[in-house]
A and B are shown apart, each in its own frame.
Chain A
Amino acid sequence: MNEVDVLVKMINQISINNRHHGEDAAAAEEVAHHLKKFWARRMKQQIIEYAEKDGADLNDVSKLAVARLKALSDEVESWPQTSDAG
């Protein structure tokens, strides 16, 4: 499997595990945030490029998620403070 195939497999798996959020758009929002939070810059770029060029192997939620990810990438997100002294 080449690098992009791996990323497609990863995002589809994330999407399947987030389908319970109801409609595809809601699930895609979760998936996009997951990618934004955990994926490296290059991985994000590669999946966006793939979606724009071909995207055939992305499932429905993943397709929406990549579009959201692209929008999110242009936003400067104010991340919640994740430190947690208790």
Chain B
Amino acid sequence: MLNYFDPKQPDSGQPHNGFDPSLFERDLGTPGRTSTKAVALTIDGFEISVPEGTSVMRAAALAGITVPKLCATDNMEAFGSCRLCAVEIEGRRGYPASCTTPVTEGMSVTTQNGKLAKLRRNIMELYISDHPLDCLTCPANGDCELQDMAGAVGLREVRYGYEGANHLDAKIDDSNPYFSFDPSKCIVCSRCVRACGEVQGTFALTIDGRGFGSMVSASQNEPFMDSECVSCGACVQACPTSTLMEKSVIEEGVPEHSVVTTCAYCGVGCSFEAQMKGDKLIRMVPYKGGDANHGHSCVKGRFAFGYATHKDRIREPMIRDSIDQPWRAVSWEEALEFSAKRLKGIQQTYGRDSVGGITSSRCTNEETYLVQKLIRAAFGNNNTDTCARVCHSPTGYGLKTTLGESAGTQTFDSVMKADAILVIGANPTDAHPVFASMMKRRLREGAELIVADPRRIDLLKTPHAEKGLHLALKPGTNVALVNALAHVVITEGLEDEAFVAKRCDTEGYQKWRTFIQEARHAPEVSEAETGVPAALVRTAARRYATAGNGAIYYGLGVTEHSQGSTTVMAIANLAMATGNIGREGVGVNPLRGQNNVQGSCDMGSFPHELPGYQHVANTEVRERFESVWNAKLDDEPGLRIPNMFDAAVAGTFKGLYVQGEDIAQSDPNTQHVEAALSALDCLIVQDIFLNETAKFAHVLLPGATFLEKNGTFTNAERRINRVRRVMPPVAGKEDWEVTQALSNALGYPMNYSHPSEIMDEIAQLTPTFTGVNYQRLEELGSIQWPCNDDYPIGTPTMHGVDFPIGKGHFAITEYVATEERTNRRYPLLLTTGRILSQYNVGAQTRRTANSEWHEEDVLEIHPVDAEDRGLKDGDWLGIRSRVGHTVLRCRVSDRMAPGVVYTTFHHPGSGANVITTDNSDWATNCPEYKVTAVQVEKVSQPSDWQQRFQQFDEQQQRYLERADESEGMAIK
């Protein structure tokens, strides 16, 4: 059966004491209500009490009585079109629809009697008179609500015959790669239309025509693929027949078992049922018991899982002496011995600090923990880092300094209580789509929207909520803008004095207050720098400060700047000054990029911090780790990723173990990264594909996808969710097993038999995790850390009473312009971002049909800048920065202001990072991806780098193929 959304009631923001999966197995027909007023009624003689506003249908379902239905489902408001759910209510005339009838005190309802049975049979008869009778060969056979209802009402004949006008010849629309639309099976219940509007918020579907001619239509009667459809699949999930059906089910049949697990794409961390046939994944259905997503998903999570069984998967360990040699497939033992010998040899020659490792934000908490443990305990240094270095490290620094904890303050559900939503440098509809759907729902309910972004993001086009303010700032001026917002708050007396007096360090506040009041922070002054009209800034500040609950959401458009950390602190200042911290509906919310980037930071991936953000120089902390790990730990921080590259180029850093991260594609200034990787004597890459980094490797260890392992991920709301294995790892080992084997080969023993044992060790050593274990995760479904004696069931909303540092700290946030400036040679500013269908470096999504939406990265350029240069859509553009040159196709777009150009970095051959510079955040070295001065001109061929890239790529692919051939011969 399909599963549907059911917001956890009554108050989804509160931690729940227990988790009962059976609650999510049934469809209760209509959504729950939150009223605290109970209404008692009788249904078929059973008494039940439900919250005011509940429908008769839902009340019946809660009493264990199933009323037949077709158009109702509990993740959407009742619609009342199918009339199959008609009931009798004492004292009322006729047969009201139970889905649209709210309960009243003392009501007496009858759901089954002879008259109702006859009525329902007549309704079904009409439906079936225009429906193909091919049930046995229909893909929905066994999973069809129409079929179920025909059975439930006892339909035995169709007296109308099938000769009259009908829709049986309606044409199938197969344009979407993942699902098909067969209108001949449609009963026009409008569930798909409502799912697209209410659940997803895209409103791409409508009912076209009227009466008998009514048809579901995507946009203006377009094929799905050409329409506004974002392929989230909510309509497919909602469809009660096989009208909208996953192609995988059409090809393979209905799944036979399912396992609840957590998506491995973005930081929303949606829960899914992986629906299986044996060890084959047939479809992913978002789990309505998932606290992050409540039964919704996006095109990536639901559909783009085919990469797991792609032919490009690395299936066996491989080694080679140097990168100009073909790969040699070997046994696990040989690969690990080879790695250990090389690493030890390097350390003997170049010293203990000459090797390091990079943990993966794509892997589980347990795997990340184990990699940093290996580095600290077996390598004996702190040269560990993770991709958060290049995305949210400023969040860690900035929030730790101001609020005392390196994480967002809220649950996702909190947005449903926000009155003003300020989005800075984030693009939720593309990068965090499931959360964006929830945000859009809140906007439709009337919350105010303020977007600070150089680009006009899609959130500003939210249907039925199109009055958002757009502060289209110049890239690189975030601090000036947020300071201006705070200046307005303070000078116009909009601060929450009571909150500040009670919760914040008053001395720091007074200093900051004096600083921010200075006239140079006034929007009228900073307008020259930011390009945002002062009046707009004043309106935005007033809206945020006075709406009631003001919530800030931000992304990499904040962090990936030379002043990323300063902006994060400025955001925290703004939230504290307006009292928007410590309750539902407010807060400071970093939208984390990778599925487990929060977790990888929590697990001690940074070179200066042990798990739980405990500094390596803290003797008491270090001793605790030393006694459990039985190893001596270094008390000095290790190298960050960019420092590792610099040391490699300098010849002092020689060995690197990289688990599940593609630094060669994702990190800035590609040519510098390539030089560093080429200088290594031993690069060990553990990944599911031959990614760009692996092309420079000496050892290739096969990784496992999230479908092939047990563990946990932690999402952007600090929620720890279980990852459950649904199929065996292709090369026999989960990633933690590989790390463990490498550690043993290095002579540092590790003997875990299951990830739960690793989590137990984490809980033992990490004060914010002491209450976390697998048993507890089963009981609660998921846990938001901190979870310990003080917070035994986790902490949905942080900083409710005090801050981890006691009082909140206002940091002085002086605006320092980036060194990356435009001039006559480089007159445009390039900024980068993502799109919905591709994910990050694209290693996964490029190996799925998602590429049909985005086959290549393009450069978006404003019509004015395009005209100056004589450019039109589709032209090849050379983009030159101070560090590099690449070529992309042109797309003329007015989404950015003149002077700003934009691209994505999903395809390695695009070389977007060949042009990004090595400027970085002053506090954390997070690269300044979002600001690069460039010139753009029309060209006729790929750049030199792209030509070299293509040659190198072809050569490395040949080396891999030869390994496959030699392996094939060995087997023969």
Interface size class of A (residues with CB under 8 A): 20 to 34
A71 contacts the other chain (CB 8 A): no
Contact A79 B615 (CB under 8 A): yes
A84 contacts the other chain (CB 8 A): yes
Q: List residues of B (590-626) whose CB comes within 8 Å of A's CBs.
A: 607-609, 612-615, 617-621
Which B residues lie within 8 Å of A78 (CB)?
619
B768 contacts the other chain (CB 8 A): yes
Contact with B643, one of A43, A77, A80, A84 (Cβ below 8 angstroms): A43
Contact A39 B637 (CB under 8 A): yes
Contact B922 A37 (CB under 8 A): no
B904 contacts the other chain (CB 8 A): no
Give the segment of B498-506, B790-798, B855-863, B954-962 that binds chain A.
Answer: B790-798
Contact A37 B608 (CB under 8 A): yes
B613, B619, B646, B766, most chain A CB atoms within 10 A: B646
Contact with A82, one of B609, B638, B791 (Cβ below 8 angstroms): B609
Contact B612 A40 (CB under 8 A): no
Contact B798 A37 (CB under 8 A): no
Question: In the complex, A82 Cα to B353 Cα: how many Å?
Answer: 25
Contact with A84, one of B383, B405, B562, B634 (Cβ below 8 angstroms): B405
Which A residues lie within 8 Å of B922 (CB)?
10, 13-14, 16-17
B816 contacts the other chain (CB 8 A): yes
Closest to B639 in A: A40
B778 contacts the other chain (CB 8 A): no
Contact B646 A82 (CB under 8 A): no
Which B residues lie within 8 Å of A6 (CB)?
642-643, 646, 918
Contact A34 B618 (CB under 8 A): no
Contact A42 B647 (CB under 8 A): yes
A3, A19, A40, most chain B CB atoms within 10 A: A40
A17, A19, A44, most chain B CB atoms within 10 A: A17
Contact with B652, one of A13, A39, A42, A83 (Cβ below 8 angstroms): A42
Interface string of B756-787 (1 = CB under 8 A from A): 00000000001110100000000000000010
Which A residues lie within 8 Å of B563 (CB)?
17
| Known contacts A6-B646, A79-B618; is-contact A38 B637 (Cβ 8 Å) | yes
| Known contacts A2-B650, A20-B515; is-contact A85 B790 (Cβ 8 Å) | yes
Interface string of A1-41 (1 = CB under 8 A from B): 11100100010011011011100000000000010011111
Chain B interface residue count, CB cutoff 8 Å, equals: 55
B126 contacts the other chain (CB 8 A): no
Contact B617 A77 (CB under 8 A): yes
Which B residues lie within 8 Å of A20 (CB)?
515, 812, 814
Which B residues lie within 8 Å of A80 (CB)?
618
Contact B639 A82 (CB under 8 A): no
**Main secondary structure on B side of the interface with A:** loop
Closest to B789 in A: A85
| Known contacts A3-B646, A6-B646, A10-B925; is-contact A86 B768 (Cβ 8 Å) | yes
B665 contacts the other chain (CB 8 A): no
Q: List residues of A (33-74) whose CB comes within 8 Å of B's CBs.
A: 34, 37-44
User: How far in angstroms is the closest Cβ of chain A from B602?
Assistant: 11
| Known contacts A17-B816, A20-B812, A43-B643; is-contact A82 B637 (Cβ 8 Å) | no
Interface string of B94-128 (1 = CB under 8 A from A): 00000000000000000000000000000000000
Contact A83 B812 (CB under 8 A): no
Contact with B804, one of A14, A42, A77, A86 (Cβ below 8 angstroms): A86
Question: In the complex, A74 Cα to B960 Cα: how many Å?
Answer: 51
Closest to A76 in B: B619
Contact A3 B647 (CB under 8 A): yes
Contact B804 A84 (CB under 8 A): yes
User: How far in angstroms is the closest Cβ of chain B from A23?
Assistant: 14
Contact B637 A86 (CB under 8 A): no
B535 contacts the other chain (CB 8 A): no
Contact B353 A85 (CB under 8 A): no
User: How far in angstroms is the closest Cβ of chain A from B310?
Assistant: 38
* Chain B residues near A (Cβ < 8 Å): 353, 382-383, 400, 404-405, 515, 562-563, 566, 607-609, 612-615, 617-621, 634, 636-640, 642-643, 646-647, 649-650, 652, 766-768, 770, 786, 788, 790-791, 795, 798, 804-805, 812, 814, 816, 918, 922-925
Interface pairs (13), CB distance under 8 Å: A2-B650, A3-B650, A6-B642, A6-B643, A16-B922, A17-B922, A20-B814, A40-B353, A83-B612, A84-B613, A84-B768, A85-B786, A86-B768
